[in-house]
Amino acid sequence: MKSRTQKILGGSAVALLALLVSLFLFHQAPAPESPRSATPASASARPREERPSAPTPTAAAVPGADEPAPAIPPLLADPDKDLDQLAAYMRERFGAKLKEPYIQIKMLEDLMRFFQKRNPDHWEEELLAFLKKAFPEMYDELAATLRNRVDYEKWVRDNDSYLRGLSDKERRAAMWDARNRLFGKEAAERIWASEMKNQAVSDTLVSLDAKQGAPLQEKLSTYKQRLHEIYGEQTEAYLERHRQEAMNRFLDLSSVQQELTAMAPQERTQNLRSIRKEMGLDEEALKRWDTLDQTRDARWEAGARYMAEREALAKQLSGSELEAKLQKVRERYFGTEAEVVAQEEAGGFFRFERPRQWGRN
């Protein structure tokens, strides 16, 4: 029986080390409520053309739900000793911060993943036993938070289809109702503080996009002001981590794109530079963006000429004769990228029929 218990409690040194490293990295990274001071390095980061991927409605509903779980470990020779070491480390890293609900959730999620891999059938009992030994003075509070976390995850899972059928506003209201009911309003707002701020930014952008007749610079000024209102003294730290995303979200507004489209090329270039400068990019980064804009403009101009020539050829030729001619035209316009363009067109995708998104493609 003792041997069986040791096997059940067994984990791997690799998994334990992975957990300790992940916890260390988490505490080195800024928490949503108190990010570390920003350095100017990211303000000169290279331009990136990728759009940030958006989470599904329910993926972000549970804190940490999109984080990878540790690998399943082999057995340890002395699991009790290793758990003692883990407990000492956890007390050292979390002990002074565990009154903060967000920190409680993050610690419990790391431990949930760890114990779920160690003992999938009885992980919760093992985790509760660990908490009682590691944090006896806070055991009742941590155990209650764990139950709420598990119950909330089950609620999200059980109501996934229902939530997906709601409008964005209705879905947010339903999720906040569940959070407030399980965690209490104050704790829920602290746990999901980052989501609340992000939603406030989204609401701001929707409002700005709906403003008829407001000039671009006025919208940009209002956007910056709202970021400062939402993030307060942490605004610069937030922008250091999310400057590209914050800039892209503003540029993606249809009203901003419409105004940029209506501008003469030189005026548009000046306004794009102004937006980036106002969002905190330094001179070195601004020059790189200027170069990228010129490259993009040249690419789209070549694309427009290619599409016109392609259309004219399609009226005269067909089949293999048309394709042979188009291959030469592609090579003339796109050089080494000609084969990629040909493959795209064979799949029905014509890149230069997409709308031009100024500052984005």
User: In this structure, what token pair is assigned to residue 183?
Assistant: 């965690």
Distances (CA, A) of 100 to 67, 176, 187: 21, 19, 8
Give the number of other CB atoms < 10 A from CB of residue 174: 16
Instruction: Give the DSSP letter string of 266-284.
Output: HHHHHHHHHHHHHTT--HH
End-to-end CA distance of the chain: 65
d(CA 297, CA 202): 29
pLDDT of residue 207: 97
User: In this structure, what token pair is assigned to residue 61?
Assistant: 């509903």
The residue among 314 and 27 whose pLDDT is bigger is 314
Give the number of other CB atoms < 10 A from CB of residue 324: 10
Q: Would you say 102 and 190 are in contact if contact means Cβ atoms under 8 Å apart?
A: yes
pLDDT of residue 45: 52
d(CA 82, CA 74): 14
d(CA 43, CA 78): 48
pLDDT of residue 96: 79
pLDDT of residue 60: 57
**Calculated CA dihedral for residues 79, 81, 87, 92, nearest 10 degrees:** -140
* Residues in contact with 307: Cβ distance below 8 Å, sequence separation at least 6, in sequence order: 350, 352, 353
User: In this structure, what token pair is assigned to residue 209?
Assistant: 């996009």
Does the pLDDT at position 197 exceed 60?
A: yes
- What phi and psi, each to the nearest 5 degrees, are found at residue 252? -75, -10
Does the pLDDT at position 86 exceed 60?
A: yes
Average pLDDT, the chain: 84
Which tens digit of pLDDT belongs to each residue from 267-276? 999 999 999 9
d(CA 52, CA 332): 33
Q: Would you say 45 and 356 are in contact if contact means Cβ atoms under 8 Å apart?
A: no
> Which of 59-63, 218-222, 309-313 is predicted with the least confidence, judged by mean pLDDT?
59-63
pLDDT of residue 30: 38
Does the pLDDT at position 76 exceed 80?
A: no
Q: Would you say 235 and 227 are in contact if contact means Cβ atoms under 8 Å apart?
A: yes
User: In this structure, what token pair is assigned to residue 291?
Assistant: 């170069």
pLDDT of residue 165: 97
Does the pLDDT at position 279 exceed 80?
A: yes
d(CA 361, CA 354): 10
Give the residue carrying structure tokens 């806070």: 138
**Beta strands per DSSP E along the chain:** none
Give the residue carrying structure tokens 């779920």: 116
